[in-house]
Amino acid sequence: MSTHLSCVSAQIASVEAFSAGKIVAAIDGYSVDVPAVVAVSRRSHQPQVDSSDKNKKAISDAVAVVAKLAVGEQSQYGITTGFGGSATTRTTQTALLQKALLAHCQAGIVPAFHTGKILTPEEHDLLFPQDWIRGVMFVRLNSLIRAQSGTRWIVIEGLHKLLQHNVAPCVPLRQSISASGDLGPLAYISSVLTGNPDIYAWYGEGAERKVYDSATLLKKIGLQPIEFIAKEGLSLINGTGASTAVASLAMHDCHILAVASQVLSAFAVENLKGSQEPFNPYLHNVARPHPGQIEVAANIRHVLLPSRLARPHHVESDPEASLRQDRYCLRAVPQWLGPQLEDLLSAQQTIDVELNSTTDNPIVDIKEGYLHHGANFMAMAVTSATEKMRLALHHIAKLMFAQLTDLLNHSMNCGLPPNLAVGEPSVDYSLKGADVAAASYLSEIAYLANPVSTHVISAEMHNQSINSLALMSGRYTLEAVKLCRMLMATHIFSLCQAADLRTMEKIFRSLVFPILRAETKAHFPGVPEPVLNDEFFRLLTNRLILLLNASTDQDSGTRFERVTSDLRSTLLALFETAQVEVPLGAISAWRAVLSKKMLRAFIEMREGYVPGSPESAVTILGRTGALYAYVRGELGVKLHWGTPEKDRTAIGTEIGKIFHAWKTPKMAEVLVGILEKHEGGKL
């Protein structure tokens, strides 16, 4: 069975292949996938319509079936009858009926347009983003070309031409309940083909991209207005194209965030000096073999293997390992994230089917010469998928926040300063505000995680007494994606800050431990050499580690005086155990010299540290070092020093660099690369 990681890796590779022109997305009714939707929507990839003679004949045959049944004695929904709860009416004016359909579905609120109008941010908020529109047209075309809708080739060709010319109809963001498909959004898109002067669309490139009325637009791209015949208007708008396109974009984004959650969890294990023990294969492959749990454990185990921070196993004598097992936000990561991977893969299967389905009503059966009346427009499958995504995002975000709060709390982070302050704690509160911001993001994600489908309201003469709200659910899922990216950007910034602090800690200890040994021997020359042995200094050093870890909330000017004062009692106890008497004056002198030298070493270490250099955190991290190097290097995210002289940009500005990187291919490439196994030197 393929893993979540292999699914995401394949998707990213496909998006890049589409974008580079190595492969071309085909509108053939059967082969559209999520990467194709992403490439068409966000990378301006131009898909090709399968215009084979076989396809054209099938399209023509379906139109002929509709035309024949339109003049028969048996009424046909939306062809000779009214719509929805008004299907009790009958008419022979089939073309006029399609115009009436589009007219009553164009009921959403849009800006007050005129040709060339420059929209305000508030007006933009009333409309679909333009990249969504490209995806919607692409997905709808793939349904129409299946020759089960009864739409002429000229209509399919016209809609495809809009895509080719990068036309984006202006579609109201709010209106659809995704019951009889996404009627409103698709009605606005379809009406551009008719040249309706009150329906507008974006056209042009760069600074020349403007809003034009449909009549003017069609002239600009050399397309004649189309008058829809029997069923064509209904075929165009009665489907799940809008919901499915938006869900596809959300699906891709959620997959990448799920990969990121595993990388950041491994990064958190390192920075909190956690254990690798919870990721042992026996716990997952043998004892509780859920596929997602097995995958997460294996991925994190792989990432941590070369780490110099994460403990391979518990060692009772380790002074920093008094907590026998890590807290849940580290130890239970496989059990927490595993089900989210499984839910996302389930959602992926649903979207894959929906992308290559006929979702209008009635549906043409060419072989039988019949129209099947049903409800394939009901997008509950899409709603189910997006609600899985949104709930998974919440659980991912909750885990990230739990790790972040542990990281910032000096009583829980194994010796890091409060708020990850590099400067003096009395005047440097570093990531305290980021902690509050992260709580804000999580609260909103938690609100959005609630199901949309439980808020269905009966509509349209009680005909649409159940409706899926799939487009609404998709919109909220993409909003949750944005918030999750904000929270993760904050977490990444914090993890990199913590990694630099861990490196400083390592450098400082490498300076201080020899000083401790040298000054102890120098101040107590009368103590026999066998007493000042390795075990003596191991115990003294272990106590120093604990004192240093417990004093990170103190300014350095007084911190080391207090640390050495407390360490003095340990020294006396060790001498007492060894039955050695030493002058009290020598102990006081030892403490005073040690305090000064520790302070000097600390200041010199802090002032000399260069974040992102070859001697920085990359020397102690496992495979997460690639993320650290990307953040400090390519993104140029600065360490927050806690001093105005060094901090020339706001913390939010630096976190923002990471947030904006989510929209670049490189971020996903780095994250997936960290998890992927190397075989024969290749990914």
570 Cβ neighbours under 8 A, 6+ residues apart? 539, 540, 543
Checking DSSP bridges between strand 363-365 and strand 370-372, what pairing results, if any? antiparallel
Answer whether 393's CB lies under 8 Å from 258's CB. no
Res 460 pLDDT > 90:
no
Give me the active site residues, please: 77
- Given this model, what pLDDT does residue 2 score? 65
Whole-number Å distance between alpha carbons of 274 and 269: 5
Residue 680 has pLDDT above 70, yes or no: no
Is residue 662's pLDDT more than 70? yes
What pLDDT does residue 681 have? 35
Give the span between the Cα atoms of 202 and 195, in whole angstroms: 14
**Burial class for 606, CB neighbours closer than 10 Å (0-12, 13-18, 19+):** middle
* Rounded Cα gap, residues 263 and 648, in angstroms: 29
Burial (CB < 10 A; 0-12, 13-18, 19+), residue 515, is: middle
DSSP assigned state of 263: H
pLDDT of residue 324: 87
Omega into 362 within 30° of 0, i.e. cis?
yes
Smallest Cα–Cα separation from 132: which of 81, 185, 83, 95? 185
Q: Count Cβ neighbours within 10 Å for each residue of 11-31 and write b for 16 or more, e otherwise.
A: bbebbbebbeeeeebbbbbee
Give the whole-angstrom CA distance, residue 99 versus residue 101: 5
Q: Of 450, 503, 453, whose CA–CA distance to 479 is shortest?
A: 450
pLDDT category of residue 497 using cuts at 50, 70 and 90:
very high
Residue 283 is classified by DSSP as: I
Whether the per-residue pLDDT at 513 is higher than 90: the answer is: yes
Question: Mind listing the pLDDT tens digit for each residue in 227-280?
Answer: 999 999 999 999 999 999 999 999 999 999 999 999 999 999 999 999 999 999
Separation of alpha carbons 43 and 22, rounded Å:
14
- Ramachandran quadrant class, 436 (left: phi over 0; alpha: psi -120 to 50; beta: rest): alpha
pLDDT of residue 266: 97
* pLDDT tens sequence across 47-95: 999 999 999 999 999 999 999 999 999 999 999 999 999 999 999 999 9
- Does the pLDDT of residue 9 top 90, yes or no? yes
In this predicted structure, what is the pLDDT of residue 321?
A: 79
Q: Return the beta strands (E) in 147-289 as ranges.
A: 168-169, 200-203, 210-213
* Secondary structure tally for the chain: helices H, strands E: 24, 7
Q: Where residue 40 falls among pLDDT bands split at 50, 70, 90?
A: very high
Percent of the chain with pLDDT over 90: 91
pLDDT in tens, 579-604: 988 888 999 999 999 999 999 999 99
Alpha helices in 222-332 (DSSP H): 232-237, 241-271, 281, 291-304, 328-331
Report which DSSP code applies to 427: T
Quick one: angle between helices 651-661 and 470-523, nearest 10? 130
Q: What is the pLDDT of residues 282-333, one digit of tens each?
A: 999 999 999 999 999 999 999 999 999 998 888 887 887 778 888 989 999 9
Instruction: Using alpha carbons, select from 261, 259, 660, 651 the residue that is nearest to residue 436.
Output: 651
**Which among 443, 371, 337 is positioned nearest to 3, based on CA atoms?**
337
Amino acid 6 reads S
pLDDT-based confidence at 209, cuts 50/70/90?
very high
Q: pLDDT tier at 679 (50, 70, 90 boundaries)? A: very low
Torsions phi, psi of 492, nearest 5? Answer: -60, -45
Amino acid at 675: L
The whole-chain average pLDDT of the chain stands at 95
- How do beta strands 210-213 and 363-365 pair? unpaired
Q: What is the DSSP letter of 288?
A: S
Instruction: For 473-486, write each residue's pLDDT tens digit.
Output: 999 999 999 999 99
For 486, phi then psi, to 5°, come to -60, -45
Structure tokens at 121: 């941010």
First-to-last alpha carbon distance for the chain, in angstroms, is 19
Domains of the chain (ranges, CATH numbers)? 52-239 (1.10.275.10), 245-360+377-499 (1.20.200.10)
Is residue 623's pLDDT more than 60? yes
In angstroms, what CA-CA distances link 222 with 158, 170, 193? 10, 20, 12
Query: In which band, very low, low, confident or very high, does the pLDDT at 118 lie, cut at 50, 70 and 90?
Result: confident
73 secondary structure, DSSP code: S
| C-alpha pair distances (Å), 392 with each of 43, 342, 353, 480 | 26, 10, 21, 10
**What backbone torsions phi and psi does residue 464 show, to the nearest 5 degrees?**
-95, 60
pLDDT of amino acid 253: 98
Ramachandran quadrant class, 224 (left: phi over 0; alpha: psi -120 to 50; beta: rest): beta
- The whole-angstrom separation of Cα 45 and Cα 210 is 21
CA dist 62 → 56, 58, 368 (Å): 10, 6, 11
Q: How far apart are CA 38 and CA 41, in angstroms?
A: 5
Phi-psi domain of 209 (left: phi exceeds 0; alpha: psi -120 through 50; beta: other) = beta
pLDDT at 116: 80
Q: What is the pLDDT of residue 320?
A: 79
The token pair that represents 391 in the structure block: 């709930």
Residue 68 backbone dihedrals phi, psi, to 5 degrees: -65, -45
Q: How far apart are CA 459 and CA 469, in angstroms?
A: 12
Instruction: Let me know the angle formed at the C-alpha of 380 by 31 and 460, rounded to the nearest 5 degrees.
Output: 120
d(CA 311, CA 309) in angstroms, rounded, equals 6
Whole-model pTM: value is 0.95
Q: What phi and psi, each to the nearest 5 degrees, are found at residue 643?
A: -130, 135
Question: Which amino acid makes up residue 366?
Answer: I
Mean pLDDT of 649-656: 97
pLDDT of residue 117: 83
Cα-based angle 139, 357, 255 (whole degrees, multiple of 5): 60
